[in-house]
Structure 1
Amino acid sequence: MPQADAQPLKPEPEPQAQDVTMSDTPSPVQGSNDKVNLEDLFDDEDSDPEFPSSVPQINSEEEPSQTEPIKITPRSSFSDPEIIRAFYQRLFPFRYLFQWLNHSAAPSNDFAHREFAFTLPNDAYLRYQSFTTADLLRKQCIQMLPTRFEIGPVYSSNPRERKTLRKASAFRPVSKELVFDIDMTDYDDVRTCCTGASICHKCWSFITMAIKVVDVALREDFGFKHILWVYSGRRGAHAWVCDKRARLLDDSRRRAIAGYLELLKGGDQGGKKVNIRRPLHPHLDRSLEILKRHFQTSILIEQDPWGAEDKYAHLLQLLPDPTLRAALQKKWDSSPSRASTAKWADIDALAKTGALSKSSRDLLEAKQDIVLEYTYPRLDAEVSKKLNHLLKSPFVVHPGTGRVCVPIDTRKVEEFDPLGVPTVTQLLTEIDEWEGEEGKDGGKKLQDWEKTNLKPYVEFFRTFVAGLLKEEKGGVKREREDGGDAMEF
């Protein structure tokens, strides 16, 4: 992967969640004193492209492309209203998002009772939004122009009607994908190329390693099949485990899976973060095999974590043998700028000369712990433990970078380039500059996203959703034949 200089980006402030509805918050396209009811935003007719009613409908997914190009200048902001509106009108794959969350070829409460939360341009945060169709979701996005929206659980009742229920217990989360969040800032104590919100190709390797380890564990150890990885738009990645039995997990089981994948302890105190029993659990043994391939290049060469004099003190602290530590300290003090690859080789070289008071087995285990400390996934476990946690939707635009939160194909995870993901302004320009032919001689009319570099990501998502729906259909059939739930966890 080509190297690139770190791109410092100012992190955006996280909005504070508010329990408000559409009627509580001014619309960005109306006067600040106007009240907006959800029903007023939409037509009476349901024009959902997937499930049209018996009356003639206009398919919003196939409406004519915008004829007037968006005037994009070097001063255009990713969050300009006309940019965001054009993105929702022309590029966002609402149809496939609906299919993904609905799990069926017929409308269901899996979508209708799903919570959506919107971050508006004025930083208002609208929770408990819900929609029966993709078209209604699309219309609200075009009307309200959220800078992003998040997806929450499916509730026992319609989230918008929760305040009308007589008993609070009648409104509870009943299902949601098992989700994971990996953020680059959690690697700041081991990456040397960037800090904070900045990323480059070198430190993105930490995310690549994490995806490899977590994905194989979820598949091989828990038997999950439908795992969608999504780029966060700036410095991380999210995993959505979409299998039915994953969606039905309660909080205790979600905590158990998160705990199974959690390894590093100790925070930022600088002490030993890996304390594991031997023999190694099969998951850790497999993880080491995956990670040690990256350790030599991604850590020792590209990060050079112990190249500076003030850095190798931590490495010495992680070695349990006092005789070996003293010998290494003396060697490195005489050549403090010695590269990390050389320092790592010095450990075995000096051990072989007899500078070892403990067993070679102790040294091997210590080195394994060091590899894990510098490479093992650092998950935000709290995201995974709660059924009612919200997570940013795939395909929204990151307001800080303008990049679209696209899916990551794990079969090509090492080829994924976060700095090459298209921005919203780039995509809108590609639509207007497209010179192909469509609809000629009765041919298929292209969607606008098909004219841009967003196409491979939408097609990957479409294929993923098709596989999920196929299994859901088979699962329902088996349940009917068996007379029960055949997918119990």
Structure 2
Amino acid sequence: MPHSTAADLITPSSPLEEDSELPDAPPHALDVKEEREGDNQKELEIGVPVREDLKPDIKLEDLFDDVDDEDEEFPSSGATTGMVESSPPAVPIALAPSAKYTDPEVMLAFYQRLFPFRYLFQWLNHSIKPSNDFGHREFAFTLQNDAYLRYQSYPTGDLLRKDVLRVNPSRFEIGPVYTAPPRDRKTLRKSTAFRPMAKELVFDIDLTDYDEIRTCCSKANICHKCWSFVTMAIKVVDTALREDFGFQHIMWVYSGRRGAHAWISDKRARIMDDQRRKALAGYLEVVKGGAQSGKKVNVKRPLHPHLARSLDILKDHFQHDILEDQDPWAEPEKAERLLQLLPDKALNDALRKKWDAAPGRSSASKWADIDSLAKAGASKTLDGRLLLEAKQDIVLEYTYPRLDVEVSKKQIHLLKSPFVIHPGTGRVCVPIDTRRLTKFDPLGVPTVTELLGEIDDFDGQDLKEEDEGKKIQDYEKTSLKPYVDYFRTYVASLLKDEKGLKRERIDDDAMEF
């Protein structure tokens, strides 16, 4: 793909036709069944009936939450722009010493005391005043019995908070902004009138996709060594999104166990149609093929500028994180995989002979052997250019991001919300500060039970004299504070730019004759 066409991928295409067919968003694989009766679609949740009672009672004051206070993007806990504090006050935490993060009372205490609903609302709404960007947004709940409840929507952030406290889901996911509130989709005269209009561009990195090349862990297990694959991926993808496409509002979120998600909130990204999302995902997809396939990197020469830049980013990681920490070719059968990726049979035979004579030779030494034997004339037919290209492809195969591109291709894809609790680890899905990317420790992210304990510990202390009388929010009493503060700063930057875009549109309209 020519470098000059990168920006073309994000140019808005023509709008959808009013009566175009809309594929339904994919249901939860295990918990949702759908059946068609004529032209109507009926949803059935396993283990739970269709819950029309979950539709909240919308009061007039909830629809207009102090909309006059538009200049205070992040008000104190007493202000109510887009989020009112009308829910019952949080009760004291009274958890049993043996309480687990999966216990309903633990989840409820977390939602009451720690979840940053205000900033989540502002992030998805792109303003402090309620708008269709939030009111037409789909939310999906995974309930405590693992049933899946889709197409929930709320005019304001406070109504979302009330419903979360009432339903107490084990987690919830975020979907697209539709042409109408998702709750009302069945009341529309035309089913085709309900279609997605916008959604953040997202990317998913999962360490299970690295199982064939990581040697320290497998499946759901992770350690600091294999987390470096995620660090490498974030560096490469984030740089490409900013430098090649000009995106600015990119937030990376820890998945809670073995991966990370990118949310791109720039308006140009949100309004991209599926065709352009697929093209952008293809631009970033380099490593292709399953665990049993052959060569997984097949790129054209000369290298695309994005790939040349990526190699420059990854070369140090390859030496330390791959050759030393992973030692991927220590075993003879793994070393054979390396030889398969080299272009010259005579060189391969010489390398194999050397390695067979030195059992236990490290991967770093084997990698160095390639150049040393090549320079020593181990092969009379060796093409130096082909060897260099093969080595570049090997570096890419073992370091370049392995993205789940299907997540990125469609607006209708649902993705787990930031700050929910991972059900398998109890850890919070926190944002990752990319300015301190190498310092991020996935195993050090707090669990929900640890956070609730920190609140209790803080409340049991004597406050300093200068802190007496100050209103300290619960998250500020815990190790969740830096993550919420980072999210708040990210949202403030997004809202500032969105306000500027609105002013530009107003100015453009004023110039029309």
User: Given the two structures, how large is their TM-score scaled by the length of structure 2?
Assistant: 0.85
Alpha-carbon shift at residue 335 of structure 1 (Å): 1.8
What aligned pairs does 1:280-319 form with structure 2 within 5 A after superposition? 280-319=303-342
Q: Residue 127 of structure 2 corresponds to which residue in structure 1?
A: 104
Structure-2 residue corresponding to 1:450: 476
CA contact (8 A) 2:67 2:129 kept: no
Structure 1 equivalent of residue 392 of structure 2: 368
How is 1:37-186 mapped onto 2 (pairs within 5 angstroms)?
37-39=53-55, 41-42=56-57, 44=59, 46-47=61-62, 51=66, 61=85, 66=90, 68-74=92-98, 76-186=99-209
Q: Is the 8 A contact 2:33 2:45 kept in 1?
A: no
- Which runs of 5 or more structure 2 residues have no equivalent in the other structure? 1-27, 36-40, 70-77
Contact map agreement 1:46 1:53 (CA 8 A) in 2? no
Amino acid at match of 1:402: G
- 1:208-252 Cα shifts (integer Å, max 9, x gaps): 000000000000000000001000000000000000010000011
Counterpart CA distance in 2 for 1:450 and 1:18 is 42
Of the structure 1 ranges 349-358 and 366-375, higher mean CA displacement relative to structure 2 is found in 349-358
- Say how many residue pairs are matched: 466
Take 1:447 and 1:62, find their aligned partners in 2: how far apart are those partners?
Answer: 16
TM-score (norm 1): 0.89
Q: Does residue 358 of the first structure (1) align with residue 358 of the second (2)?
A: no
1:19 and 1:470 map into 2 onto residues whose CA distance is 42
Superimposed CA distance per residue, residues 254-312 of structure 1 (whole angstroms, 9 cap, x where no aligned partner): 00100000001221124110111111000000000001110011000100000111210
Look up the match of 1:216. 239
1:217-296 aligned at under 5 Å gives the runs 217-296=240-319
SS across alignment from 1:202: helix
Distance (whole Å) between structure 2 residues aligned to residue 19 and residue 459 of structure 1: 41
Residue 311 of structure 1 aligns to a residue in which SS? helix
CA RMSD of aligned residues (A): 2.8
Corresponding residue for 1:424? 448
The structure-2 alpha-carbon separation of the partners of 1:309 and 1:180, relative to structure 1 and needing over 3 Å to count, comes to: same
Amino acid across the alignment from 1:44: K
Change (3 A) 1:34 1:223: closer
CA 1:452/1:255 → structure 2, altered by over 3 Å: closer, same or farther? same
Alpha-carbon shift at residue 43 of structure 1 (Å): 6.7
Is contact 1:118–1:127 with CA below 8 Å preserved after alignment? yes
Report the 3-state secondary structure (helix = DSSP H, G, I; strand = E; otherwise coil) of the residue aligned with 1:161: helix
Q: Does 1:383 align with 2:407?
A: yes
Deviates more, 1:57-66 or 1:421-430: 57-66
Indicate how the Cα distance of structure 1 residues 218 and 151 shifts in structure 2: closer, same or farther if over 3 A, else same: same
Deviation at 1:161, TM superposition (A): 0.5
Change (3 A) 1:35 1:342: closer
SS of 1:345 mapped into structure 2: helix
CA distance in 2: counterparts of 1:394 and 1:445, whole angstroms: 25
The CA distance in 1 between the partners of 2:138 and 2:50, in whole Å, is 24
Alpha-carbon distance in structure 1 between the residues aligned to 2:232 and 2:295: 21
Q: Which amino acid aligns with 1:465?
A: V
Contact 1:304 1:340 in 2 (8 A): yes
Question: Cα–Cα, structure 1 residues 33 and 258, in superposed 2: closer, same or farther, change >3 Å?
Answer: closer
How far is 1:104 from its partner? Answer: 1.5
Q: Which stretch of structure 1 is more off in the superposition, 352-361 or 471-480?
A: 352-361
The 8 Å contact of residues 61 and 95 in structure 1, kept in 2 or not, is answered as no
Identity of paired residues, percent?
A: 63
Letter in 2 for 1:255: K
Distance 1:270 1:38, change over 3 A: closer
The whole-number CA distance in structure 2 between the counterparts of 1:142 and 1:427 is: 18
Q: Quick one: distance in 2 between partners of 1:438 and 1:156?
A: 52
Q: Which moved more, 1:233-242 or 1:353-362?
A: 353-362
Asked if structure 2 preserves the Cα contact closer than 8 Å seen for 1:192 and 1:305, the reply is yes
Amino acid across the alignment from 1:461: F
Structure 2 CA distance for partners of 1:19 and 1:246, relative to 1, 3 Å: farther
- Alpha-carbon separation, structure 1, partners of 2:49 and 2:171: 24
Distance 1:286 1:420, change over 3 A: same
CA shift for structure 1 position 48? 7.8
User: In 2 relative to 1, CA 270–176 (structure 1 residues): closer, same or farther, beyond 3 Å?
Assistant: same
Residue 478 of structure 2 is aligned to residue 475 of structure 1: no
Whether contact under 8 Å (2:45, 2:148) holds in the other structure is no
Deviation at 1:57, TM superposition (A): 10
Mapped contact 1:15–1:119 kept (Cα < 8 A): no
Distance in 1 between the 2:244 and 2:478 partners?
Answer: 38
Contact 1:438 1:446 in 2 (8 A): no
Structure 1 contact 449–455 (Cα < 8 Å) conserved: yes
Q: How far does the alpha carbon of each residue in 1:41-95 deviate from its partner, in whole angstroms, 9 at most, with x for none?
A: 55735458964699x9997549897453332424x22110100000000000000
Matched residue, 1:3 = none
**Equivalent position SS for 1:118:** strand
> Cα distance, 1:438 vs. partner?
8.7
Partners of 2:167 and 2:472 lie apart in 1 by: 26
Query: What's 1:10 paired with?
Result: none
Shift of 1:24: 7.0
